[in-house]
Structure 1
Amino acid sequence: MILSHEIPAASYWSLRLRAGRLLRLTALDGGAVCSTLIFADSDPVDRLNVPDTLKAQMSARIRPPMVLMSDRGTALCSVTGSSLDWHDCLTGHSLDAHVDAPGPSSYATDRNDWRRSARYGFLSELRKHGRGPADLHGCVNFFAKVAIGPDGTFAYEPKHATAGDWVTLRAEQDLLFVCSTAPHPMSQTWMPGAVRAEVEPGELYGPTDPSVTFRPESTRALAAAKAVLA
């Protein structure tokens, strides 16, 4: 184990992860959500591109062994395992309007129980890395499920994750992760959950790795990431 850090409920955190290492996220509470932005640390403009990631891999969700791709079609990280077969990436992160729906909240009135959106947390962490609002992009809401209902609208499942559910990501290049544990933007209640983040050494993988063989597009994305490291 290289690092273990608990992200409290309704909080935020960021991490630089070296290529080849594994990041394991574990839900510590039922209903926990970890909204996550991902950037290539070597290039300030290369970041997670959700539409291309989904289109290239014929999916409307994130699950193993998919590869999360950047704007340039380069692999950022691979989903090497998960206790859940569905992580939402369609609905974006929560805004201040979402957390104010039950009524206004501020530090002056609520102290440490002050409700803060994922956007607030993202911007707070991005400033630490010299970034700002222009760097916000489509995120992955790990541990959340939003399917398409029979009528074509989004259907959020509030009890998708239970305590102990997990997902592991293998960094294919040096990365910056920015995380928020604010509730999902479609949640009807303010019940955030904590998430544990653990970093472990990775292992070398070959041409039969599930992410490599998943689709031709994932093969090309991983090859492009290796070129970045060369």
Structure 2
Amino acid sequence: MHIRRSPEEIAANRARYEEHQRKGLDFAPKALPGFSPLPAPAIDAASIIHREVIPGGWYDAMKVKAGETLRISLDHGFSSLALIAWSAADPSERLNLPDTVKMQWTTGLSKGRVIFSDMGRVMFSITEDSSGAHDCLVGGSSAASNARYGDPMLRDTRDNFVKLALKIGLNRRDIPAMLTLFAPVRVDAEGRFFWNPTLLNGADYIDLRAEMDMTVGFSNCPHPLDPNPAYAPNPVTITRFNAGPVAADDLCRTATAEAVRGFENNALASL
């Protein structure tokens, strides 16, 4: 159905677009830092809210409040961990990787970048990251990708997330595209995906600061491009802790014009 818009509405939409364009052109993006140092710095015990370990092949969901940080760390050896998220206030608002990539002009999500929802709000800030080896293009494993292991009973991320969604009152249509942490997927000159293990550093970690109240889901299964011929995901540690006050010049909140607008949207939603 074609919707006719008034000249006034068209003019207002154009003015809003031109203002966003002007802000983007006038804004000089801040240079991002290098990767976070290893080993991971200790977390103050008084700030820790909860810690758990997700075994290889398993999944879990947790509630996270704005201002808390999730440290996801490979304390037990290598594994790739898939992540999805929904707003706690309205689960129809969910993690949106296409917008995250498009609005920041990069698939390289690392320290200083943010992760957007499909409502243009910021869900996570990446405040620390030791590798930058995260995949937002390929997606998680399935029964078909697990067929190479020769055992139909092995768990996969697609089925894990369907089960997780059902347990929290959602269904498979509510599952967004997933971000896979510690999955060093890159694109070669021919446009083909490949696995680049040189990006990994062993006991890697990433800190994700929550910018809204959320339900976050995890699946600890091998990535479809992982070249290991064995199904051998190691346990992954997730530590939830209070992040403390955020500085006015916080890198994630000020690095790009798109991030600034995303946090403005967060503020408007809280009014």
- The alpha-carbon deviation at position 11 of structure 1 amounts to 1.0
Aligned residues: 222
Higher share of residues assigned helix: 2
Structure 2 CA distance, aligned partners of 1:199 and 1:229?
23
Which one has the largest radius of gyration? 2
Higher relative contact order structure (alpha carbons within 8 Å, sequence separation ≥ 6): 1
- The alpha-carbon deviation at position 135 of structure 1 amounts to 1.3
Is 1:180 the equivalent of 2:219?
yes
Q: What is the aligned counterpart of 2:163 among 116, 124, 132?
A: 124
- The alpha-carbon deviation at position 140 of structure 1 amounts to 0.7
Identity of aligned residues (%): 28
- In the alignment, which residue of structure 1 is the partner of 2:173? 134
Unpaired stretches in structure 1, ≥5 consecutive residues? 107-114
- The alpha-carbon deviation at position 160 of structure 1 amounts to 4.2
Deviations 1:167-216 (A, max 9, x none): 00111010111100100011233221211000101222133100111100
- In the alignment, which residue of structure 2 is the partner of 1:109? none
Q: What is the aligned counterpart of 2:83 among 16, 28, 36?
A: 36
- The alpha-carbon deviation at position 130 of structure 1 amounts to 0.4
SS at match of 1:19: coil
Is 1:165 the equivalent of 2:231?
no
- The alpha-carbon deviation at position 131 of structure 1 amounts to 0.9
Moved more, 211-220 or 156-165: 156-165
- The alpha-carbon deviation at position 30 of structure 1 amounts to 3.7
Runs of 4+ in 1 over 3 A off after TM superposition: 158-163
- In the alignment, which residue of structure 2 is the partner of 1:191? 232
- The alpha-carbon deviation at position 162 of structure 1 amounts to 4.6
Contact 1:27 1:162 in 2 (8 A): no
Unpaired stretches in structure 2, ≥5 consecutive residues? 1-47
Deviations 1:141-173 (A, max 9, x none): 011111111221111125643542100011101
Question: One-letter code of the match for 2:206?
Answer: V
Question: One-letter code of the match for 1:126?
Answer: A
Question: One-letter code of the match for 2:216?
Answer: F
Residues 89-104 of structure 1: matches in 2 within 5 Å? 89-104=136-151
SS at match of 1:200: strand
- In the alignment, which residue of structure 1 is the partner of 2:246? 205
Structure 2 CA distance, aligned partners of 1:176 and 1:200?
15
Contact 1:21 1:170 in 2 (8 A): yes
Moved more, 186-195 or 207-216: 186-195
Structure 1 CA distance, aligned partners of 2:77 and 2:193?
21
- In the alignment, which residue of structure 1 is the partner of 2:265? 224
